Chain A
Amino acid sequence: DIVMTQTPLSSPVTLGQPASISCRSGQSLVHSDGNTYLSWLQQRPGQPPRLLIYKISNRFSGVPDRFSGSGAGTDFTLKISRVEAEDVGVYYCMQATQFPYTFGQGTKLEIK
């Protein structure tokens, strides 16, 4: 199984300041079709997960442009340019390159 490791596990951030979450996979996420199936999900308190970013850096429909994704191979990053109150929640990276699909442990974003 591909292990997904997120850092940090908790991130206290001041409103209006940037935030960054790292995700490292235990092996390359480049699929045989050339795509890298690394996505980022947000889970607000009491809510189901919501897709933010897919294939490393593509923002999903309706996602604010303060969210961005980057990376390649085994190292990926989610950045929030200016944190807003509604961004509080847990963020997960997920790989769908190889079965079983696997998630990172989650990073809890909270406001200082």
Chain B
Amino acid sequence: EVQLVESGGGLVQPGGSLRLSCAASGFTFSNYAMNWVRQAPGKGLEWVSVISVSGGTSYADSVKGRFTISRDNSKNTLYLQMNSLRAEDTAVYYCATEAPGYFQHWGQGTLVTVSS
């Protein structure tokens, strides 16, 4: 059974940093591109970032230069390093596996709250 478990969310002050993790199991992690998607409270879904099988990355303009996606295939774990956090980054962050062009499996999400 595919499992994706996010962790690392919490309350952080504006300008602060946080690192999210997504622990994967039940599939060959290194064979899949991985994405982060976020959802602000009461709002819709917003794609954040992707990392390919080969390590190539892409980011939404709203986080470019502040967030860094990475993966450790030896630990079956996806990461999102978030720096210079803003109030508008407050959201539930989901990780998701990607077959080319669609997100098959999603984690339960981890809540990030940016507030003083």
Contact = CB atoms under 8 A, between A and B. Distances in A.
Determine if chain A interacts with chain B. yes
B47 A55 contact: no
B45 A103 contact: yes
Size class of the contact patch on chain A: 20 to 34
A39 interface: yes
Contacts of A60: 104
Given A60-B104, A94-B103, A48 B94 contact: yes
A74 interface: no
Main secondary structure of the interface of B (DSSP, over half): strand
A100 B94 contact: no
A37 B96 CA distance: 16
Nearest to B108: A48
A35 B103 CA distance: 15
Contact of A37 (B94, B101, B104, B107): B101
Main secondary structure of the interface of A (DSSP, over half): loop
Contact of A51 (B46, B102, B107): B102
B53 interface: no
Interface string A71-112: 000000000000000000010101011011111111000000
Interface in A39-61: 39, 41, 43, 48-51, 54-55, 60
B70 to A, nearest CB: 18
Interface string B103-115: 1111111000000
Contact of B106 (A35, A50, A100): A50
13 contacts: A35-B101, A37-B100, A39-B103, A43-B45, A48-B106, A48-B107, A51-B103, A92-B45, A94-B102, A100-B60, A101-B35, A101-B47, A103-B45
